[in-house]
Structures are given as structure tokens and as C-alpha cells.
Structure 1
Amino acid sequence: MSVDPGEDAPGPSEWTVPGAPVGVGPWPGGPDAWPSGDRWDPELLEHGDRRNVVDAYRYWRRDAVAADLARRAHPFHVAIENLGHDHNIGTVVRTANAFAAAGVHIVGRRRWNRRGAMVTDRYLRLHHHPDVDGLAAFAAERGLTVVAVDNTPGAVRLETAELPRECVLLFGQEGPGLSGPARELASLSVSIAQFGSTRSINAGVAAGVAMHAWVRRHADLDAAW
């Protein structure tokens, strides 16, 4: 399925410009001019689409966007331990959406702070595992290599590591990093090169750096928006 919103009808002219409201207003021309197809949301066509989505998905139903993202997803997953209500999880989810991860896995507590996700969790495949054993079973069943991202002794520099194409990038909590069982699960451990005084960088930032490293190595950049 194409993501070109002009496939069935001329596109709207009210695109977002600096200083203007986010998104687009109602589809020009009224109901008689609406595009055909089941991916379009009548409410959005009538009232406008102010969501934080790329222009290619304007006026699409949420489930249609999620289905298209699943079709276009990259073969890497992201997992993060949630042992104490880590506030970085929302940022990790939002970044995983931006880089088209195949899924996001919450390991530990089921509840997490969704504010930082900016609703992107509704477009992704989210998985919950009470412990790392559940994540291990998921990865083994699908042939995914678990890659721990943590600045622990013996870790390979992310900048020089050969990230597997089909993998799970596993992150720990802010502060303590990965738990012992999580480190033992990983087939490969990588660390991000740092040059300042801080011992570690924000878990959400680390996740973005690691996902982008995967994109640089494996993604088809011609498919990016």
C-alpha cells in the first residue's frame, strides 16, 4: 500500500508552515471531494488533522497508519527494563517509532510514563515481559540477537561494532543501567563512546544513538521521509 496521500485524489493545500497551526485543516472541497479508500478517517477529513504525524499519513485512520508502519518496519526491536518507573521509556518509544522499529518491549513493570511517547505508542507494536526470560524466549523464537547497550567493562564500541540486522537493542534503567540477568542474556554488549566527565548519558538519548547506528548500517535511506 502506498503512503502517497495523493494516490486517490489531489492533496490538500494547507500544509504546515512556520508559525501556522500544526497539521492541516479540513480536506478542501468538502465531502464531495474526499478521497476514496478505507484508510481515510472521515472525522479528520471533515475537521482537519492536527496530529504529530508525517504529511504522508495526514487524514489516515490510526489503525491504517499502524498497519502501514508494521509493513515498513525494520527488523530490529527495542527493549528497555522498567524496574522503577523509568521516565525515559516514553522517549525511547517515540524514537523507536521514528526509526520504524519492529516493536518495543517493556521488561519488568507493566505501567510506564507515556507522556514522553507523544502518542506514538498507539502506532507501534508494544510487548510486555515480566522479566528478561520472557524477552529471551521472544528473541529465540524469532532468531533475534540480543544486543546490550551499556557502558560496562568488555563492551565493544558501538561506533566500530557490527550490529546484527535482526536484533533486539536492550537498554537498562537510568542510573544503574542493565540488570545482571539482562547482561547475561545479551550475545553482544556495546557501549557509546563518551568524552566528558559524566559516567553515563540519558537512557533515552542512548537509545536514539544506538537506533541511528543500526539505521546507518542497515536501513534503505531512500525509503526515509
Structure 2
Amino acid sequence: MPGSSQRKGAIRKKARGNPTAGSGGRVRRGLEGRGPTPKAEERVKHPAYKRAKAKAKAQERSAGRRPARKDPDATVEWVYGRNPVVEALRAGVPASAIYVAEGTERDPRLREALLLSVERGVALLEVPRQELDRLTSNGVHQGLAIQIPPYEYAHPDDLLRAAYDADQVPLIVALDGVTDPRNLGAITRSAAAFGAHGVLVPERRAASVSASAWKTSAGAAARIPVARATNLNRALKSYKDAGLFVIGLDMDGEVELPDLQAATDPIVLVVGSEGKGLARLVRENCDLIVSIPMTSATESLNAGIATGVALYEISRRRTQ
């Protein structure tokens, strides 16, 4: 009706606010939540996510590659002399053959060497004494020698893969400038004893897994892999990219070993030589430098002992 819009009550007035919107739908959606909490490996900022990503990268890099490789420059080695041969066989050195000179007088050491070689399936060869003189470069062999094949080194990525395959927090020992094979053997033995997943050595200016290293390791070189890196600094950077914490061991450390807070984290422990310590570039690549507290009367420990002390402390902290 024309004009009725002016009549009182003809048009309903809107209330203040927004009474027509309602809250039922919004409240209902809010009560539904966001679903189950994602696993730690699926949360981008969680350490478990970084470890899972690093594990996948390590497996991808090592896919289709042999886990071990022979040193192309290595040659067979000889351990000769009755006591050295017996000690090497007791330590589990992987001899490929045992040589006995014709007419050699039998004694308890020779009998033990022959017995150990039979137990380990080592080939026994009897040769003329002149031939054994030639093979050992006229060394004092006492009519007995063993031949050791070149060591098969692992790839640096294999050490990381070994830790992830065992579902353990990685612990790797890297050596910088350690040239004494006996120190290498002692470090390998400590690494195996305290749960490390491998030892990394550079190709140049470093000790190799020789007969002497085998003997000092007391067979540990057969239980824990030793890897070789063409460039140690590049290998350390690769480990850092994989989420590992690189710790240098040096007498002028920023933190003393008992105060190390990162003992339970994925670690690469870098050990330098007794004389020169860590090289400058290697030191710069370390996230932290740690020292072993000692009395003032003692200047330093050799690389083998220092590594054993550091690995013991890290192992103790991880098992608390």
C-alpha cells in the first residue's frame, strides 16, 4: 500500500552487531582440533627431522656404490720374525699366507704360529730360505713370515650409514696429521671399545692401516671401519651438512671435556697430531674446540691416549 512504509512498525530494525552470523559452525570446527600430532621425523624444526633427512641423503649417496675400496697405491706387507708373526696372528691380522723357510727348526713359537694359521684358514707355504730372504728384503725373518693384503677402506658416507642402520646417534673419529700407525691402531681400538661408528683418515700425510696398525689395534680394525677421505676439510663440511657437530680436540680448547654439553649429539671428534695439533683450516671447520684438563706438570698426551680419554667421557655421558 503506497505510503505504508512510513507506518510505525512497517520495517523491522536491525539489531546492533551481527546476530544473524551465528557461532555454531565456527565452534564446532574449533572443537574438532587439528588431528593427531605429527611424528618427530615429520616436524621440520625437530632434530629428528634433520637426522632422518641426513640419513636419507647418506643412503642416496651410497646407493649403488661398494662399501669398501682398496687403496690403489698400497702393496702387500710382510710381518716377519717369530715373535712378531705370533703376535700379529694373535691380534687377528688378516694374513693371506704364512711362509716357512725350508729346514727351519721347530720351537713353541713356530708351532703356535702354524696352529693359529690353520685355525684361521691361512695358506701355508714352505719356500727356500733364499726366496724368503728376497720376499722380506733380507730382513731377520728367522724362517717365518706372513703376507698381509692391502686394507680395504670404507667411504666417509659409510660411517654415517653404519650409525643410522644401527639406529644410533653417530660418533665418528677423524684424524688430522696422525702419522704414527701405532697411534692409528690405538685410536681404532678405543673407537671400537667406546661405541664409535668408524675412524676417518685423510689420504695424504697420514698413517695407513699397515701391519703395525693392525697389531696395535688388537683386531679392532676388523670390527670397526676405517674410511679414507681425499680432502679431510671437505669431508668434515659434508658431515656438518648432515647435522653432525664437529668437535676438535686440542690442548688450547675453549671448553674442558667434562663441561662438554654436546656429548649426546651426533659428533665428529677431530684429533690432531701430538706435535702440531689441529691444522688451521681443520680448526676453523670445527664448531667447538675441547681440551682435556691436566696438571701443569704434564704438557700433552699422545693422540692415542687423548682420543681414548675423550671417547670414554662421551660414552659415559651417553649412557647416563
TM-score (norm 2): 0.44
Partner in structure 1 of residue 261 of structure 2 = 162
Post-superposition shift, 1:129? 1.4
Alpha-carbon distance between aligned partners in 1 of 2:237 and 2:168, rounded to the nearest angstrom? 21
Partner in structure 2 of residue 80 of structure 1 = 175
Question: Is the 8 Å Cα contact of residues 132 and 181 (structure 1) preserved in structure 2?
Answer: no
Q: 1:158 to 1:83 in 2, by over 3 A?
A: closer
Post-superposition shift, 1:217? 1.0
Question: Is the 8 Å Cα contact of residues 76 and 166 (structure 1) preserved in structure 2?
Answer: yes
% identical equivalent positions? 29
Cα deviation, 1:110-160, whole Å, max 9, x if unaligned, reads: 6524132222112112211133223223312421110001012x5211111
Question: Is the 8 Å Cα contact of residues 81 and 173 (structure 1) preserved in structure 2?
Answer: yes
The DSSP-based 3-state class of the residue aligned with 2:284 is helix
Post-superposition shift, 1:95? 0.5
- Unmatched segments (≥5 aa) in structure 2: 1-89, 91-115, 121-161
Of residues 131-140 and 203-212 in structure 1, the stretch that sits farther from structure 2 once superposed is: 131-140
- Higher helix share goes to which structure? 2
2:200 equivalent among 95, 101, 105 = 105
Partner in structure 2 of residue 132 of structure 1 = 232
- Unmatched segments (≥5 aa) in structure 1: 1-21, 23-43, 49-67, 221-225
Cα deviation, 1:13-33, whole Å, max 9, x if unaligned, reads: xxxxxxxxx9xxxxxxxxxxx
Q: 1:108 to 1:181 in 2, by over 3 A?
A: farther
Equivalent residues in 2 for 1:1-225 (5 A)? 71=166, 75-82=170-177, 84-85=179-180, 87-109=182-204, 111-112=207-208, 113=210, 114=213, 115-152=215-252, 155-164=254-263, 165-219=265-319
Partner in structure 2 of residue 19 of structure 1 = none
Post-superposition shift, 1:190? 0.5
The DSSP-based 3-state class of the residue aligned with 1:170 is strand
RMSD after superposition: 3.1
User: Which one has a bigger Cα radius of gyration?
Assistant: 2
| Count of matched residue positions in the alignment of Structure 1 and Structure 2 | 159
